[in-house]
Amino acid sequence: MKVIIVGGVAGGASCAARLRRLDEKIEILMVERGPFVSYANCGLPYYVGGAIEEESKLLVATEQMFKVIFNMDCRTNCEVVGISAKEKTVKLKNHLSGEVSIEKYDKLVLSPGAAPVRPPIPGLDLPGIFPVRTVGDSKNIKEWLERDIDRSVGNSFTGVDTVSKPKHAVVIGGGFIGLEMVENLIERGLSVVLLEKLDQVMPPLDPEMANLVKRYLKKHDVKVKTGDGVTGFRKTENGELEVLTEKGKVHPADVVIMAIGVKPETELAKMAGIEIGKCGGISVNEHMITSDPDILAVGDAVEVKDFVTGECTLIPLAGPANRQGRIAADVITGRKSKFRGTQGTSICKLFDAAIAQTGVSEKTLKKLGDTDYEKVYLFPNSHAGYYPGAKMLIIKVIFRKSDGKLLGAQVLGEDGVPKRIDSFAMAIQMGCTVYDLEESELCYAPPYGSAKDPVNFAGMVAANILRGDMPVIHWDSIGDSFLLDVRNPPEVAADPVPGAVNIPLPQLRSRLAELPKDRQIASFCRSAQRSYYATRILLQNGFKAVNISGSMLARSIM
């Protein structure tokens, strides 16, 4: 049995190593078009920024290691230029020697990854414009940032004749790579304009959560322009690079980073004549087998099932790619392993903050026409408020109305984000309901959490809603409710809500007569805790009462 694996990074490398562990006898050939196998592409922005100092640190495993430890044929700078599924052969071209050869396979594993989107924009090939996909890309960017620019012929930035390093960057695309590049360019001392064609940065987040990310970027002096795509690049007479946008803006740039997303590399699949799915990735079944039973595919190039919605999706993440590689190896050696789909669990560092999500977003549910869900916003401390260093977490949790099943969570904050998103991720994997979250027993000591962890708290709030103890509404649907502000007068004075009547919570029981019995009373306070108490008092006194989820804090993010 001979297996050829195309692509030697996350999915391919995992597959190759596991294949050898499972079977000493299989003949394995792994080919990688680039110069490195198994490199840390998630580290590239940090190599550019300088947090990772040595290029060698990015190389997780070497060609040599695959040969010696895993006893396989491993070839870098070697590209597949042809596949015959009928003959079960691939045509390989060695980019160093130019040599072309034909290799036969019994099973073929495709792990070509996803390539940065390159829209047909005039000037995209001008010097100073870079994607961030390979070690080579990041080296090119570093070199570019370290070279001197002659500003003597004219200078649209400083107006002073001089020579300097690049100072002004434009990052195009506000997803993971875009944001990581923004941070790392700022760390290097550059000023950064972030251009995003969509109305929000960080596409996996819901818009109101992404809006917080935008604010946070602005706080860190990033000029964020959402809803404005790039239309072209040009070089001025003085040799300066400029970025032109849909809205007619011109952004001068010493360097431009293209991070507008990736799309599955499907050239190989097309060569092989295998099916491409409706999301544009290679179609595979749960065993990672394509439409050709002898060809498997893994990683960013394939489309997989969304674990929560059951729909097809493209999720270019390292974790699923690695697990798919293992599963493909299992399947080739006769095991029945299955990929259970992806939850889209992901996290992004942004200065001191982390942005994380798992499961489905509200906008995805809306797109699917699913209305059987409810959401809550929470703003708890990352750990006991009385212990130094607690930061506010901003949490959005989405759950099914009919049975309480947890569907998705989005968490932002400067402390304790990974702890919470992983609890939610594990919960979603295991089919957890909000009633389970209420009863979760997570670690607590004052430096790390609270006796009621934010995850419990999310469960409690959600369960209160589903049990009917606390009907909620959101700011965008208050309609003609009677708005009851139960904050204390100084809070109200500092941030009043037009049209709301203020009755501080401690006075509520004695002032019920001031409230209408025939209208829905929507209470709010700062975080929705006191207004929850108010809602309980009102409901038990015969009022039609609802709590405004997240209250003033949620209002501040809308």
Q: Which residues, 230 to 259, sit near a second copy by CB under 8 A?
A: none
Pair 468, 439: CB distance under 8 Å: no
407-446 residues in contact with a second copy (CB under 8 A) are 416, 418-423, 425-427, 429-432, 436, 438-446
Strand partners, 316: none
- The nearest distance, CB 430 to a second copy, in angstroms, is 4
If the CB atoms of residues 251 and 526 are measured against a second copy, the closer one turns out to be: 526
Structure tokens at 288: 């990672």
User: Nearest-CA neighbor of 12 among 321, 446, 388, 262?
Assistant: 321
Contact status: 494 vs a second copy (CB under 8 A): no
Give yes or no for residue 35 binding a second copy (CB under 8 A). Answer: no
Residues composing the chain: 558
Q: Which of 343, 381, 410, 527 binds a second copy (CB under 8 A)?
A: 343
537 counts as binding a second copy under rule CB under 8 A: yes
Q: Judged by CB under 8 A, which stretch of 94-102, 134-142, 224-232, 320-328 contacts a second copy?
A: 320-328
Residues 445-464 that bind a second copy (CB under 8 A): 445-449, 451-453, 455-456, 460
Residue 388 burial (CB count, 10 A):
9
- Tokens 């979603």 correspond to 428
Give strand ranges (E) for 227-372: 230-235, 241-245, 250-253, 255-258, 262-264, 282-283, 295-297, 302-305, 312-313, 346-350, 353-359
Tell me how far, at minimum, the Cβ of 536 lies from a second copy, in Å: 5
- Answer for which of 43, 252, 273, 471 binds a second copy (CB under 8 A) is 43
Q: Does 260 bind a second copy (CB under 8 A)?
A: no
Least distance CB 487 / a second copy (angstroms): 13
* Only segment of 38-46, 125-133, 294-302, 475-483 that touches a second copy (CB under 8 A): 38-46
Window contacting a second copy (CB under 8 A); options: 249-257, 346-354, 366-374, 393-401: 346-354
Q: What part of residues 196-235 is at the interface with a second copy (CB under 8 A)?
A: none
Site for a second copy in 50-69 (CB under 8 A): 51-52, 57-58, 60, 68-69
Contact map string, positions 355 to 374, toward a second copy, x by CB under 8 A: -x-x----------------
Interface of this chain with a second copy, residues 287 to 316, rule: CB under 8 A: 307
Contact partners, residue 85, CB within 8 Å, separation at least 6:
272, 273, 274, 292, 294, 295
Nearest to 85 by CA among 295, 356, 287: 295
340 binds a second copy (CB under 8 A): yes
Cα atoms in the Cβ-side hemisphere of radius 13 Å centred on 113: 21
Beta bridge partner(s), residue 108: 4, 295
**Residues 168-197 interacting with a second copy (rule: CB under 8 A):** 176, 180
Nearer to a second copy, 430 or 494 (CB): 430
- Give the distance from CA 178 to its chain's centroid: 11
Q: Which of 98, 388, 479, 490 binds a second copy (CB under 8 A)?
A: 388
DSSP 347-386: EEEETTEEEEEEE--HHHHHHTT---EEEEEE--BSS-TT
Annotate 323-339 with DSSP letters as a single string: HHHHHHHHHHTT-----
Catalytic pick among 42, 74, 312, 348 = 42
Map the footprint of a second copy across residues 69-88, applying CB under 8 A: 69-71
Q: Is 266 in the site for a second copy (CB under 8 A)?
A: no
Residue nearer to a second copy on the CB measure, 166 or 459 = 459
The stretch near a second copy (CB under 8 A) out of 23-31, 107-115, 228-236, 245-253 is 23-31
Question: Is 132 within 8 Å of 48 (Cβ atoms)?
Answer: yes
Secondary structure E strands in 351-471: 353-359, 373-378, 394-400, 406-413
Is 432 catalytic? The answer is no
Q: How many CB atoms lie within 10 A of CB 80?
A: 22
Choose between 18 and 197: whose C-beta lies nearer to a second copy: 18
> Which range, of 94-102, 140-148, 293-301, 336-344, touches a second copy by CB under 8 A?
336-344
Q: Which residues contact 239 (CB under 8 A, 6 or more apart)?
A: 153
Options 113, 178, 320, 413; binder of a second copy; rule CB under 8 A: 320
For the chain, the first-to-last Cα distance in angstroms comes to 58
Tell whether residue 488 is a contact of a second copy (CB under 8 A): no
List 266, 309, 345, 364, residue binding a second copy (CB under 8 A) = 345
Segment interacting with a second copy (CB under 8 A) among 135-143, 268-276, 361-369, 504-512? 504-512
Compute the Cα dihedral for 114, 119, 125, 127 and give only its sign: negative
Q: Determine the Cα–Cα distance for residues 365 and 344; give it in Å rounded to an integer.
A: 14
Closer of 242 and 438 to a second copy (Cβ): 438
Compute how many residues bind a second copy; rule: CB under 8 A: 91
Active site residues: 42
